Amino acid sequence: MDNPLKVILEALVFISIEPLSLDRIREVLNDRSEEEIRRALEELEAEYNREGRGLRLQQVGGGFVLATRPDHDPWVRRLLQIERKTKLSHAAVETLSVIAYHQPATQPEIQAIRGVDSSYTIKTLLEKKLVKISGRKKAPGSPLLYRTTDRFLTYFGLNDLSELPSVEEVAKMLEEGDVPEEKRAGQKAAQQEKTQEETRTDTQEMELEKIPDET
Amino acid sequence: MEPVHAAEAESYQVRLEVFEGPMDLLLFLIRKKKIDIADIPISAITREYLAYLERKEQINLDREAEFLLMAALLISIKSQLLLPREQPPADEEDPRRPLVDRLLEYERMKSASLLLREREEEQLQSWRRTSLPPLDVADEPGLIEVSLFELAESFFLLLKRRENENFQYLKGKEVSLDEKMREIVRELEERHYLDFLEFLARQESLEEALISFFCLLELIKTGAVIAVQERLFHTIKVWLRRSRPLPESHGQSA
């Protein structure tokens, strides 16, 4: 390690429990210029994100974190003797998407898009601190407004909301139609963890064959 | 998870996968038939949609009302289309338009949620130090430090419990704060911790209990001991803090 600042930053990121923000780093290293710090961070990031490291330096939720690589998940879990982390439900991720892309959003707005009652899902998302109440809308009944939290960003490995899949990415996915979903199902099967969402495509197709075409 | 699913998580495997909501089903029908979403043949789609609803096989039955609401909407759009008009309706007047907008937005959100899922998948396999389970400190599982109010509340609870006891007011022995403090510290040193309520209950008189309570408060204030609850509503335990010196004798007597 040639750059001493880089080494200091490595220590700071390592010891931080929450994502370490640039502001916080500047508070600690108040004799260094922002430019210097940024450059050192970039160097550090490049170094970590090269192949062959057990850790990676990620920017999530507005700060830097050191995390293990996904490939090493099986060994980490064996060491800690814990099960695979549970995923959010289908309804939860869908509701989160709606809130993330429409925030601040009210419950009626969320329901209008999803077409189903979302009160319970919103409640669980609030409990998980993935969304928060950000105020009330100046509308009849003053409904509560919901926003996503920093925890939401960290959970999905996003640095800020601008890193949400863009309209273009989503559109690209739509163009590819059902393909990615099926492809994903195949990958998951390989990992022996077909979840309800993925298996559904197959079942639906089967079912459709059975319906006589009345037109 | 919707409440029903949580409860049925185990029986999920034997059931056919379901459409979570009406938008889900409608979008599936449209995409499967490769229908131009801007020009939905409402009558054909309605028929298909109702067929699913009637068989009740692949729809989430707890959402039946919402599926029916959509059926009603489809039928109402269909009827509007059937009304004779003098001119063909302008684009904005197309009764299908609001539904199409909703469907497109829903589809966008659904795709976005699939992309988020991929990210979730990746993140869940990446571990940070925060994700580690707390290190087990012997016999101190998830301790909650308690506030003065909680201590006082416990104390009053104790007094209330003793209210009905047949107290005999005798001129008892005089207990000094100092003595009591030493007694507490001695016990703490032997047993490492005191059960707050149990200790107070052991006191012979109300005065003694009060003095003990003050002693404990004093010890907590100086930081010589820490009052913790293992779990909410559990008994409060008082632990000796090794790192802090014990307070000097006060020399006051009660």
User: Is a pLDDT exceeding 90 seen at residue B93?
Assistant: no
**Closest C-alpha among A130, A100, A127, A106 to residue A118:** A106
Interface of A with B in 145-184 (CB under 8 A): 155-158, 164-165, 167, 169-170, 173-174, 177-178, 180-181, 184
User: Which whole-number Å values give the CA distances from B227 to B39, B139, B154, in the listed order?
Assistant: 70, 15, 12
**Closest C-alpha among A208, A202, A174 to residue A189:** A202
Q: Beta-strand (E) ranges in B30-187? A: 144-145
Q: What local confidence, expressed as pLDDT, does residue B244 receive?
A: 52
Separation of alpha carbons A44 and A28, rounded Å: 18
A93 touches chain B (CB under 8 A): yes
C-beta separation of B71 from B46 below 8 A: yes
Cis peptide before A104 (omega within 30 of 0): yes
Q: What local confidence, expressed as pLDDT, does residue B30 receive?
A: 87
Q: What local confidence, expressed as pLDDT, does residue B32 receive?
A: 83
- Contact: B120, A208; criterion CB under 8 Å: no
User: Is a pLDDT exceeding 50 seen at residue B249?
Assistant: no
The angle, 0 to 180 degrees and rounded to 10, between the axes of the packed helices A119-127 and A90-102 is 80
| Percent of chain B surpassing pLDDT 90 | 5
Average pLDDT over residues B170-174: 64
Chain A's closest residue to B135, CA to CA, is: A80
pLDDT, greater one: B100 or B142: B100
Q: Which long-range contacts (CB under 8 A, 24 or more apart) does B173-176 make?
A: B174/B253, B174/B254, B175/B207, B175/B208, B175/B211, B175/B254, B176/B211, B176/B252, B176/B253, B176/B254
Chain B's closest residue to A184, CA to CA, is: B118
User: Is a pLDDT exceeding 70 seen at residue B7?
Assistant: no
B213's enclosing H/E stretch is: helix B206-222
pLDDT, greater one: B132 or B115: B115
Q: What local confidence, expressed as pLDDT, does residue B226 receive?
A: 75
Confidence of residue B168 (pLDDT cuts 50, 70, 90): low
Q: What local confidence, expressed as pLDDT, does residue A170 receive?
A: 82
* Range of weakest confidence among A31-40, B148-157, B211-220: B148-157
Token readout for A21 is 């923000």
**Residues contacting B138, CB < 8 A, separation 6+:** none
Confidence of residue B188 (pLDDT cuts 50, 70, 90): confident
Give the largest CA-CA distance in chain B: 106
Q: What local confidence, expressed as pLDDT, does residue B245 receive?
A: 55
Per-residue pLDDT of chain A (215 residues; tens, 9 = 90+): 468 899 999 999 998 888 899 999 999 998 888 899 999 999 999 888 887 788 989 899 889 999 998 888 889 888 888 887 788 988 999 999 999 999 899 999 999 999 899 999 999 999 888 999 988 999 888 899 999 998 899 899 998 898 888 878 888 877 775 544 444 444 444 443 434 333 333 333 333 333 344 33
Q: Which residues of B touch A61 (CB under 8 A)?
A: none
Identify the residue among B59, B125, B136 best suited for mutation to test binding to A, counting A beta carbons within 10 A and taking the highest.
B125
Confidence of residue B141 (pLDDT cuts 50, 70, 90): very low
Token readout for B92 is 């904005």
Interface of A with B in 9-38 (CB under 8 A): 14, 17-18
User: Is a pLDDT exceeding 60 seen at residue B97?
Assistant: yes
A144 touches chain B (CB under 8 A): no
Residue with tokens 């059975």: A210
Q: What local confidence, expressed as pLDDT, does residue A208 receive?
A: 37
Q: Which residues of B touch A177 (CB under 8 A)?
A: 31
Token readout for B185 is 């510290």
pLDDT, greater one: A156 or B164: A156
Neighbours of B91 (CB within 10 A): 8
Min Cα distance B82 → chain A (Å) is: 18
Interface of B with A in 44-83 (CB under 8 A): 44, 47-48, 51, 57-58, 63, 66, 70
Strands of the sheet with A144-148, listed across from one edge: A105-106, A144-148, A131-136
pLDDT, greater one: B212 or A147: A147
B188's enclosing H/E stretch is: helix B177-191
Out of A115, A165, A180, closest to residue B106 by CB: A115
Confidence of residue B182 (pLDDT cuts 50, 70, 90): confident
Confidence of residue B90 (pLDDT cuts 50, 70, 90): low
- Contact: A115, B16; criterion CB under 8 Å: no
Residue with tokens 């220590």: A11
Q: Which residues of B touch A167 (CB under 8 A)?
A: 108
pTM: 0.60
Min Cα distance A9 → chain B (Å) is: 17
pLDDT, greater one: A139 or B207: A139
Q: What local confidence, expressed as pLDDT, does residue A188 receive?
A: 41
Chain A's closest residue to B13, CA to CA, is: A196
Separation of alpha carbons A182 and B121, rounded Å: 16
Identify the residue among B18, B32, B106, B114 best suited for mutation to test binding to A, counting A beta carbons within 10 A and taking the highest.
B114
| Structure ipTM over 0.90, yes or no | no
Q: What local confidence, expressed as pLDDT, does residue A131 receive?
A: 93
Residue with tokens 């201590």: B151
Q: Which residues of A touch B34 (CB under 8 A)?
A: none
Separation of alpha carbons B119 and B116, rounded Å: 5
A52: left (phi over 0), alpha (psi -120 to 50) or beta: left
Chain A's closest residue to B129, CA to CA, is: A17
Q: What local confidence, expressed as pLDDT, does residue A100 receive?
A: 94
